[in-house]
Structure 1
């Protein structure tokens, strides 16, 4: 924070920067703020362009939220679709002395280095399209793989079973994580329809004009297309213009963004230009809310906030427009009638030290907030959890919270909760259901990213190693969210280098005993040919260490040991040299859970996912962390 005089001077520089394409909000515009006002924080907002309606809407949402804070000033930049210019814009914003950067990207691969450099000096919030790696304070966006999957399911509904159904996919920027995720989700959803094929895919860099030009060229050979899926509404609009140019009718067009503006997806659906679209909330207002919390050093700031996407079709466009126009927030029952909020919490079990710490955190946080908590332990049995959820429904609790044993098999009981008007919050683990509106929010970790972080360390650590690297993977409970994500993320990274090979992937259940038994099995089969053990949690890793020692080998030296959780027991093993790397997965979710419960009961719409901020530990850093570890 700087003095008001310094801030005023910086704002003067910002206004002069209008001549080079920058503009400042708060000193100019409809609600001009007095030069005498004290400026507590200066925030920079870097945009790759202001052509897309989605980005214009993002800036408008940022401005509206800034209006609520008299001590904030914001400087916006527009890179005019030039990634090098955007990197220069960020450097200029840093030169103006900003306290926090909000950045939205078209080219995350190219701009990740400047984001990393900025993050070393000030907080950085990334909006909409993520960067590669983990060097930022907070990411706010959507689940792009899920959006792609929803678009694929919608495409199947629109394309009746038959022969020769052809789709053209129009992607954003080549190599961007957002593009890869949306495309992967789309293709996965179509995999069970042999009559549908992707006839062609083109990259249009998120731009309407490029989409139109590329498709004009392509339609010469693909005039018989049945459906077009564009990764944003701007490119979808470009596709409609190309179809019109070729006088091709009857083609279904699906977009993504759903902005309510003249050329936004909502109006394009209402006008019949698009068949449907999926909202991709900009997160502009949320970015300012979190920016204030970050700058004021509030506790419990998440690492990622994933906003919910909604499908818009001609059937619901009018009602969706009315719904989004309502800005009044009304408290839900339990806030104004002076009775405690009641939560039903169905815990998965007591399978590990991590789980015990998770339970303790939820119980303690509820007590501290004066929230009545009804607690049940399912002892690792899905049938018991379903029984307890139905019990909570019958008792008319305000909110149901549970950590699912496995991902599937919850549709029926969650539908019962929805019909009873009781929201469901998932803590620590996710579910896989046919309708994601059956649950309200997820609070926990990004399990796929945890696996990636484990693999990135391994690849970096053994970059100079000669020959192949043989890995034994100890999986968690079959079909559970942590198991699936940690496996996928790890494999995503090692697949990029052929020398890393998983020679055995053994099914455990997150317990010490299973880790020990599975490692005994692996050692009998592979012996000293095992170079690395990757365990999906600390308890299994600690069991594996005991088995390695029993075989006369040195864990941490003869066999590298990588784990996820970062419990005190694991950090002790890490500090003693028996482990090599641990990715944190914090169980202390109680405070964030209670905040979400209170926000919901106060009438706010919760994000789809709230992902916690977590660290990584090596043998060198473990000793320092041990003194602070609560579990």
Structure 2
């Protein structure tokens, strides 16, 4: 049986950024799509001891979150269940906390627009920025403006390449290298340790793609040298593109045994391509990362072998982290969350916990 790490419901705010709250036990079954469904649990705050960012070190002034202008910058079109769940989580938690002035923008997958969006949020008086970055580089104009006004920046789900505390407060998200390793373990199990594998790469220019690829390749090389990676092409984290790339793959590599999709949307596009080519469920083993309802259903239906979760419900953890900062606590450079896995043993029972 595949390793199964279920993220437990968040029991208390103290768990959010304090210590290593690993979640190895099964979560209670929440209402599908509810705001409290499968809230994130901290696996490990990371960073050198004593090097956390405090409001005093940043030279900022504390403010009341409830009355502050808070800006949230979403990076991608909300056609992807991850982005839908992520934005809704931010909105739901802001409403729950009584944050009256939340401003939400969406860059529609255009990096220049995201930079402009965040600059406008700063101009509109944002006192806290929560950013889901499209790319990891190119943020200097925003960082300079935010630093000049002492606006703390929390990045979620993707990192920016910048200086901790001087440029941003913290990154909250998954260990993407570990996600790649866990996906590799699933693929090794699916193929019995040998075969030919294709990788549907995520969008270029961000750390998620780089690290999920790194973890997968390192784990395959170390544990299954008889698995050969024979095809790599970006599917840009999009379902339609994943389908197109898989259609090309079937033509150019008809003997492929497995597909590692670096998110569920590409995996579901691959399933559509395989169906169109007359393949049967399970002919080609698919492993992916995210944990969307559609992909978990794909496991139930036999088209997808396994999924490593990447939990998008950042609202509660992001605002709790901001409040700790405002209360004078030191915030680490990274707050790494715990992600579960889905496989044939738990997929059907876990559909209500997917997003």
Q: Shorter-chain TM-score: what band?
A: 0.7 to 0.9
Alignment partner of 1:523 is 2:250: yes
**Is 1:478–1:508's contact at 8 Å kept on the other side of the alignment?**
no
**Is 2:22–2:42's contact at 8 Å kept on the other side of the alignment?**
no
1:316 aligns with none
2:198 aligns with 472
Alignment partner of 1:563 is 2:294: no
2:75 aligns with 348
Distance 1:486 1:478 in 2: 12
**Is 1:586–1:614's contact at 8 Å kept on the other side of the alignment?**
yes
Counting only pairs closer than 5 Å after superposition, residues 221-620 of structure 1 correspond to structure 2 as 289-290=18-19, 300-308=40-48, 332-335=61-64, 340-349=67-76, 350-371=78-99, 372-433=101-162, 437-463=166-192, 468-496=194-222, 497-527=224-254, 529-555=255-281, 557-620=282-345
**Is 1:576–1:619's contact at 8 Å kept on the other side of the alignment?**
no
Q: 1:481 to 1:351 in 2, by over 3 A?
A: farther
Q: 1:394 to 1:334 in 2, by over 3 A?
A: same
SS for the counterpart of 1:607 is coil
Q: 1:300 to 1:582 in 2, by over 3 A?
A: closer
Unaligned stretches of 5+ residues in structure 2: 9-14, 28-38
Q: 1:287 to 1:432 in 2, by over 3 A?
A: closer
Count of residues in correspondence between the two structures:
328
- Choose 1 or 2 for highest CA Rg: 1
- What TM-score results when the alignment is normalised by the length of structure 2? 0.84
Deviations 1:170-201 (A, max 9, x none): xxxxxxxxxxxxxxxxxxxxxxxxxxxxxxxx
**Is 1:563–1:582's contact at 8 Å kept on the other side of the alignment?**
yes
**Is 1:564–1:582's contact at 8 Å kept on the other side of the alignment?**
yes
Deviations 1:240-272 (A, max 9, x none): xxxxxxxxxxxxxxxxxxxxxxxxxxxxxxxxx
1:418 positional shift: 1.1
Distance 1:400 1:487 in 2: 29
Distance 2:116 2:204 in 1: 21
Alignment partner of 1:626 is 2:355: no
Deviations 1:116-142 (A, max 9, x none): xxxxxxxxxxxxxxxxx998999xxxx
**Is 1:331–1:601's contact at 8 Å kept on the other side of the alignment?**
no
Deviations 1:352-383 (A, max 9, x none): 11111111111111111112311000001111
Distance 1:545 1:413 in 2: 39
1:479 positional shift: 1.5
Higher relative contact order (CA closer than 8 Å, sequence separation 6+): 2
**Is 1:565–1:583's contact at 8 Å kept on the other side of the alignment?**
yes
1:385 positional shift: 1.1
Between structures 1 and 2, the one with greater helix share = 1
Deviations 1:74-111 (A, max 9, x none): xxxxxxxxxxxxxxxxxxxxxxxxxxxxxxxxxxxxxx
Q: 1:539 to 1:293 in 2, by over 3 A?
A: closer
**Is 2:66–2:98's contact at 8 Å kept on the other side of the alignment?**
no
SS for the counterpart of 1:406 is coil
Q: 1:434 to 1:351 in 2, by over 3 A?
A: farther
Unaligned stretches of 5+ residues in structure 1: 1-132, 139-285, 312-319
**Is 1:331–1:603's contact at 8 Å kept on the other side of the alignment?**
no
- What TM-score results when the alignment is normalised by the length of structure 1? 0.48
Deviations 1:474-530 (A, max 9, x none): 011111222111111101101123211111111121111001000001111011x10
Distance 2:107 2:50 in 1: 33
Q: 1:593 to 1:292 in 2, by over 3 A?
A: closer
